Chain A
Amino acid sequence: MAGGKERILRQRIKSVQSTKKITKAMELIAASRIVKAQQRVAAARPYSEQITEVIRSLAAGGADLSHPLLARNENVSTVAYVVVTADRGLAGAYNSNVIRAAERDLRVEQAKGRSYSLICLGRKSESYFRFRGYDIAASFSGMSEQPRYEDARQVAEAITGPFLEGDVQLVKLAYTQFLSATSQKVVVTQFMPLDTEGITDAAAASDGPEAAYEFEPEPGEILSELLPRYVEARLFAAMLDAAASEHAARQRAMKSATENAEELIVKLARIMNRARQDSITTEIMEIVGGAEALRQSSGEGVDYLPDTLVSRHILPDHIDPFRMSGAKRQ
């Protein structure tokens, strides 16, 4: 039957419409979460700024900045990668961008003959690397959308441990920086040993100890308390940035999915209307054809209208008086 195509199209339109509802809802949720995530990024900033400030004061106060977390090792044999991704997809290229950047960097290090150690944050990076047969040292999940400080602390522990034991000499962090709601950037940066050049430079610039600090306890002890917190704060900041980026990426992806669905609905509706029109036309033709066939079989003869009506057609016995008289005269 001709209605079959139309019915199938109607079903497809319905399914696209329900998909559109879902993507629209996800878009709105992501949009509201971006704002919250941005606020969290902003709220976390004072702490990491102040902790940097304290380290600077420690350096300025004449404390000896030597600590395993700061120790640069020239012979790097193992590089650890901390890859911050999401637990879920549906965020455009968000996950694959981070993963690809990390993998590219990892290949470069491998080419230098260094081995690697992977720490995956978020289910997406874990499944990617596991599927490709990489060794995963540790993986964390269930925190990518709303990371808490407690999460950062756990991850920091997993990173700091191997570094302090000397199994890993360099730690790199791959995550997405949140620049604005429309612009995010994937970065792969050195995370450990901690980069304190800026801090020690500032201390050197201030011409020796600027003020006689009272330390309680010893500066060295404070430093060894302070640096792990610094690591956590930096990691936490990266995780918050990544979360905000994730929501932004998801919002964008879902927005274009919704637009795409709308377009598809319009296109399908047009095809459906044409199909309906076609089937109506076909039906009319069938009715007309059927009626014609019926009349023919009941012996009514061919139904036609002559182009010009001549009297001869109506009165076959008609005698043309002029022609007749002429003939008689001859």
Chain B
Amino acid sequence: MALQVELVSPERILFSGEAEMVVCRTAGGEIAFLTGHAPFLGTLGIGVVRIHPEGGGEVVKAAVHEGFVEVKENRVIVLSDVAELPDQIDADRARRALEDAERRIREGDDTDAEAQLRRAHVRLALAGA
């Protein structure tokens, strides 16, 4: 039996289908869900959600910037207000954001800039640039 996975953002459903394994980064660290996982509810940090399809197809990756994950009865629901698939990422914009964030951190800016830096890193890593 496979996991029923849904990756939902407020504006659309990014992914809906079956998968073997879902890996994401929660507040406590990376966590993987397989079938039969105990009910779980957690918050997501800034990171990449990886959805491994059954039979070892291509892994679906999405950048999420905070959100929630709920696992219940072999259903995995990932909710995120900002979630992007690799082809939706504007690499140039992310690179600019990265430079901007680095500059702000050098100038002694706060956690805001740090979050921006992490988001930019995740986006760039996913876009493969």
Return chain B residues, CB-CB under 8 Å to A53: 70, 77
Residues of B contacting A: mostly: strand
> Are B68's CB and A225's CB within 8 A?
yes
Q: Give B9 Cβ to nearest chain A Cβ, in Å.
A: 7
> Are B28's CB and A216's CB within 8 A?
yes
Instruction: Tell me which residues from 134 to 191 in chain A have a Cβ below 8 Å from any Cβ of chain B.
Output: 148-149, 152-153
Q: Mark A211-254, 1 if CB is under 8 A from B, else 0.
A: 11111110101100110010011001000000000000000000
| Bound Cα distance A44, B79 (Å) | 12
> Are B39's CB and A54's CB within 8 A?
no
**Contacts A222-B43, A232-B10; A214 near B38 (Cβ below 8 A):** yes
Q: What are 20 inter-chain pairs, A to B, with CB distance below 8 A?
A: A50-B8, A50-B70, A50-B77, A50-B79, A51-B68, A53-B77, A57-B70, A61-B39, A61-B41, A211-B39, A212-B39, A213-B38, A214-B40, A214-B42, A215-B40, A216-B26, A216-B42, A217-B43, A222-B42, A222-B43
Return chain B residues, CB-CB under 8 Å to A48: 10
Taking beta carbons and an 8 Å cutoff, which residues of B are in contact with A? 6, 8-13, 26-28, 31, 38-43, 66, 68, 70, 72, 77, 79, 81
**Contacts A211-B72, A216-B26; A47 near B42 (Cβ below 8 A):** no
> Are A215's CB and B10's CB within 8 A?
no
Asked if A203 is at the interface of the complex by the 8 Å CB criterion, the answer is: no
Asked if A43 is at the interface of the complex by the 8 Å CB criterion, the answer is: yes
| Bound Cα distance A217, B42 (Å) | 6
> Are B42's CB and A50's CB within 8 A?
no
Give me the 3 closest cross-chain CB pairs, A-B, nearest first. A216-B42, A211-B39, A149-B10
Residues of A contacting B: mostly: helix
Return chain A residues, CB-CB under 8 Å to B26: 216
Asked if A40 is at the interface of the complex by the 8 Å CB criterion, the answer is: yes
Return chain A residues, CB-CB under 8 Å to B39: 57, 61, 211-214
| Bound Cα distance A232, B13 (Å) | 17
> Are B9's CB and A47's CB within 8 A?
yes
Q: Mark A288-302, 1 if CB is under 8 A from B, else 0.
A: 000000000000000
> Are A212's CB and B72's CB within 8 A?
no
> Are A54's CB and B68's CB within 8 A?
yes
Q: Taking CB as reference atom, which chain B residue is nearest A215?
A: B41
Return chain B residues, CB-CB under 8 Å to A57: 39, 41, 70, 72
